[in-house]
Amino acid sequence: MAKEITPRSEDYSQWYLDIVHKARMADNSPVRGCMVIKPHGFAIWEKMRDALDAMFKETGHVNAYFPLFIPKSFLSKEAAHIEGFAKECAVVTHYRLKNDPNGGGVIVDPEAKLEEELIVRPTSETIIWNTYRDWIQSYRDLPILINQWANVVRWEMRTRPFLRTTEFLWQEGHTAHASAEEAIVETRQMLDVYAQFAEEFMAMPVIKGVKTANERFAGAVDTYCIEALMQDGKALQAGTSHFLGQNFAKAFDVMFLNKENQQEHVWATSWGASTRLVGGLIMTHSDDDGLVLPPKLAPIQVVIVPIPKPAAELTEVATKIAAELRAKGISVKIDNDEQNRPGFKFAEYEMIGVPVRLGLGARDLANNQVEVARRDTKEKANVSLDGIAEHVANLLDDMQRNLFERAKAYRDSHITPVDTWEEFENVLETKGGFVSAHWDGTSETELAIKERSKATIRCIPIDNPLEDGACILTGNPSTQRVLFARAY
Amino acid sequence: MAKEITPRSEDYSQWYLDIVHKARMADNSPVRGCMVIKPHGFAIWEKMRDALDAMFKETGHVNAYFPLFIPKSFLSKEAAHIEGFAKECAVVTHYRLKNDPNGGGVIVDPEAKLEEELIVRPTSETIIWNTYRDWIQSYRDLPILINQWANVVRWEMRTRPFLRTTEFLWQEGHTAHASAEEAIVETRQMLDVYAQFAEEFMAMPVIKGVKTANERFAGAVDTYCIEALMQDGKALQAGTSHFLGQNFAKAFDVMFLNKENQQEHVWATSWGASTRLVGGLIMTHSDDDGLVLPPKLAPIQVVIVPIPKPAAELTEVATKIAAELRAKGISVKIDNDEQNRPGFKFAEYEMIGVPVRLGLGARDLANNQVEVARRDTKEKANVSLDGIAEHVANLLDDMQRNLFERAKAYRDSHITPVDTWEEFENVLETKGGFVSAHWDGTSETELAIKERSKATIRCIPIDNPLEDGACILTGNPSTQRVLFARAY
């Protein structure tokens, strides 16, 4: 089974698609650019969702739900917003089908044309700010701290499972505040929540930064982001948090009476993370044998395989071990399938990324031990059955840490400072990763660099040190280095 | 605040809308027939979702996610299915907007017309069975036990928040089996899960039954349902479980190699429950002062109100009580707001349905007691602070039981057997509720009864006793009574 995966060294893109399909994460669908998220992929997304949701709630947010459809006129109320989203949206124009009078099956009923077309939400700022207008009168109604878990649609030309799909699942936070300061604190807080989630749960190190004007969300004053590095040296934007200023409040006429008894436009943030994170998870840790999952996000953390096949005596001990593990909050599967041999099962569990495998044979039992195999390093060890649950719990913690450290060592060794254009191109071509370089601060230069090198400015890191230098492309003066990379 | 609610006796429909808005459950939206689910309403739905999801997983189901869009041609593959859903769907015809060259803002780009229109899913049998074709080859691939939490769209003409909206949230289970028997067992099992959820969590008694051909899901062989009774004597279908036979397998050509080595079409079920349940919850328990929630579904189960206002001494005791309650898994809010008086707060918490209110004043403290008010009966009692957590935990259990018993007593007293058309009409007009009557078993008679009385056959109860009789409308022979009612 594992042999069917294309090695990363041969074709990284194909390796990624192989993992997605062989690890039963997702399937293509007959609808252009939409995927079917299969149970194993969805179980991982559920764990991510639950962890993020708990973090949102701890920081005072509540969930709500706004309509899937947005009247066309709403989208155009914020000038930058419509520029950003008009090109990629699904438009509902009719609300009924009927039998073709000419016998050609079912057709769209031309009588059932909508007066105003509806857009399938690509993001919900417009419909939400139109609603907030009714909810906000005075500073006492603020802040509003709402999140929504939803599906959104962006008509992408090139799609890849999880990383870029026409429909995707995400959460979008939309908050309303009485001051710019408070909204900025919120924007930064949620950036920190995303970074903490990425590092603690996904074991994926990220760089927190702010986007340049070119890369900003359509309608934002500032877009903050977390940027991760994939194994092939390409960057992945893993979450964004936007300070929207008063742009949407002005577009939708949302005013509040402030403490000084004056009418003022409301301040806004929005922030989102999506099923794209599942793609990032795959590309951070997995190997040529299949998926590698950090224990905190693994739907099954431990599998127990009786060797060479299920037997009453083995099942009894397996059940006892499973109970001890479950008592520690660890999820366990006992594989009592009689059809397949242990070797086949081992390959299968490696493929789907079960962190720990316990192989239990008659001889092991006689020796009061079990074979413990860890997925990340492929190491195996014989461990005494006394205190096995404790051992496995520690091992899972260790793996979670190890995966993060491994990814961080890779990432840290792939942030390369360069000072000339030649070096810049050379590093991008041969080594990849983030390139830390001076840039003259203009959009023109940024776009020229992108055109020549396919690298974009991923972010200006938070707390970036100031440092005089010369732009790698134009030689114009620069006050700080920024992080470039080719990106997903 | 409570005074703003229209009494049920005056106008039940308006009372319902008042509760939805004043208890901050949902708002209207600018999109026809779509609602905004507000945080309090959504928190209740989240609790319902989590409870159902756990029950689905306990019965061996896993979650997955299928595309929002369905190619138009898919819908027409199952003949009955397209008849049922063609009239009420949102159709995506284009995938891009552009600036109006005539300066009229943003228009749909006529160049971006889809070759085949996409339907926003009204339900997902077609796209899922098209996918199952790739997943199923032999009996070893069966059963498939998948559920999906999703939004769906049906272009309803008359809408009411939660009860009937153009877009709604639901779960839809779609299972595939190797035999009719196994699929029927699954269909009945999920009906039982719905009934158990409705009674144990929603405290809403339900009757399990099977639908007549007229009321069957479009494409089903048999539709099972749970039917509840609202306070105004109208019935509400609260969940359905369909045995689909081989209809969708035939429409999408899904075959498997059975144990006898023969190709056979796969057997199917589907089952769903939606945000409509929130409407049912409101109409089962609430009163003229606001929402009444069964404790198991209340986002806040206990509120502690310092009287007449927050003070250090009161806050200290409140915090201690809250900690004791939380240790028992009870959700608690301490209201330290300084703006509003206790009377205002009491009305507010009654409005949003907090089951238990603890009023804590200086004199109470001196007496080592607290005033405990229960939302269901409005009873108040002074209770010793010693063992208060235990008392409240028992009270919540008691309220959960009491709400069920109260609703069940009402429901049971509103199942009226009648034997003549005159009685039938009379009961429907004056008493309402379920009317148990003989029917000759034909669709024509059922439709004639519906036209004359606006009552439909809600279900033929499971394990209905057979009994010879004469149809109330035609006088033709009948073998059993069925349950009629006017319904939401």
Residues of B in contact with A38 (CB under 8 A): 64
Q: What pLDDT shows up at residue B45?
A: 98
pLDDT tens digit string along B302-354? 999 999 999 999 999 999 999 999 999 999 999 999 999 999 999 999 999 99
Nearest CB neighbour to A90, from listed B34, B72, B95: B95
CB contact under 8 A, B63 and A73: no
Nearest CB to A155 within list B29, B62, B95 = B95
How high is the pLDDT of residue B99? 86
Into which CATH architecture does domain A299-396 fall? 3-Layer(aba) Sandwich (3.40)
pLDDT of residue B80: 85
pLDDT score recorded for residue A3 = 62
The domain spans of chain B are 2-285, 300-395, 415-485
Q: Which helix (H) or strand (E) holds A323?
A: helix A312-327
From the list B65, B82, B92, the residue facing A91 with the nearest CB is B92
What are B478's two structure tokens? 């009948």
> For domain B2-285, which CATH number applies: 3.30.930.10, 3.40.190.10, 3.40.50.300, 3.50.50.60?
3.30.930.10
φ, ψ dihedrals at A219, nearest 5°:
115, -5
| Total CB pairs under 8 A between chain A and B | 186
CB A25 within 8 A of CB A41: yes
- In the prediction, which pLDDT does A105 show? 80
pLDDT tens-digit map of B378-391: 999 999 999 999 99
Q: Which residue in chain A has the smallest CA separation from B99?
A: A86
Q: What class, spelled out in words, does domain B415-485 have in CATH?
A: alpha beta
Architecture of domain B300-395: 3-Layer(aba) Sandwich (3.40)
Give the closest-approach CA distance of B34 to chain A in angstroms.
Answer: 6
Q: How far apart are CA B450 and CA A420, in angstroms?
A: 82
pLDDT tens per residue, range B198-232: 999 999 999 999 999 999 999 999 999 999 999 99
The token pair at A17 is 């698609």
Identify the three-state secondary structure at position B304: strand
CA angle at residue A33 from A28 to A39, to 5 degrees?
40
Residues of B in contact with A62 (CB under 8 A): 39, 42-43
Single out the residue of A146, A261, A184, A229 nearest to residue A433, CA to CA. Answer: A229
**β-pairing, A415-417 with A434-438?**
parallel
A411-426 residue pLDDT tens: 999 999 999 999 999 9
Predicted model pTM: 0.97
Q: How far does the CA of residue A303 sit from the closest CA of chain B (Å)?
A: 18
What amino acid occupies position A50?
D
Report the residue of A95, A96, A135, A153 to disrupt the B interface, i.e. the one with the largest count of B CBs within 10 Å: A95
Q: Does B151 contact A29 at a Cβ distance shorter than 8 Å?
A: no
In this prediction, residues B66-95 reach a mean pLDDT of 91
CA neighbor of A483 nearest in space, from A211, A163, A198: A211
- Residues of A within 8 A of B31 (CB-CB) are 67, 69-71, 118, 127
Q: Which residue of B has its CA nearest to A39?
A: B64
Average the pLDDT over each of A37-51, A55-69, B46-60, B75-89 and give the range with the smallest value. Answer: B75-89
Concatenating the DSSP letter of every residue in B347-362 gives HHHHHHT-SEEEEEEH
As a whole number, mean pLDDT of residues B437-459 equals 98
- DSSP, collapsed to helix, strand or coil, labels residue A317 as helix
Q: What is the mean pLDDT of residues B96-108?
A: 86
Of A429, A439, A473, A477, whose CA–CA distance to A459 is shortest? Answer: A439
Q: Are B238 and B226 in contact (CB under 8 A)?
A: yes
Contact A88 B96 (CB under 8 A): yes
State residue B3's pLDDT score.
Answer: 62
Contact between B92 and A89 using a beta-carbon 8 Å cutoff? no
Q: Give the mutation candidate from B53, B69, B83, B165 for the A interface (greatest A CB count, under 10 A).
A: B69
Interchain pair A146, B39: CB under 8 A: yes
Closest Cα partner for B145 from B136, B154, B155, B157? B136
Q: Are B418 and B437 in contact (CB under 8 A)?
A: yes
CB contacts of A118 in chain B (<8 Å) are 31, 90
| A2 has a pLDDT exceeding 60 | no
Residues in chain B closer than 8 A to A54 (CB atoms):
none
Of B458, B415, B441, nearest in space to B226 by CA: B458
Residues of A in contact with B67 (CB under 8 A): 29, 31, 34-36, 167
Q: Does domain A24-65+125-285 match CATH 3.30.930.10?
A: yes
Backbone angles phi and psi of A201, in degrees to 5: -100, -50
- Interchain contact, A27 vs B131, CB within 8 Å: yes
CA angle B197, B203, B204 (to 5 degrees): 80
Cα–Cα distance for residue pair B247/A281, rounded to 1 Å:
39
By C-alpha distance, the chain A residue nearest B47 is A63
**Between chains, do B27 and A131 touch, taking CB under 8 Å as contact?**
yes
**pLDDT classification of B79: cutoffs 50, 70, 90:** confident
**Residue A327 backbone phi and psi in degrees, to 5:** -65, -25
Query: What pLDDT digit, counting tens, does each position of A254-298 carry?
Result: 999 999 999 999 999 999 999 999 999 999 999 999 999 999 999
**What is the spatial distance between Cα A198 and Cα A220, in angstroms, rounded to a whole number?**
23
Statement: residue A382 has pLDDT above 60:
yes
CB contact under 8 A, A92 and B91: yes
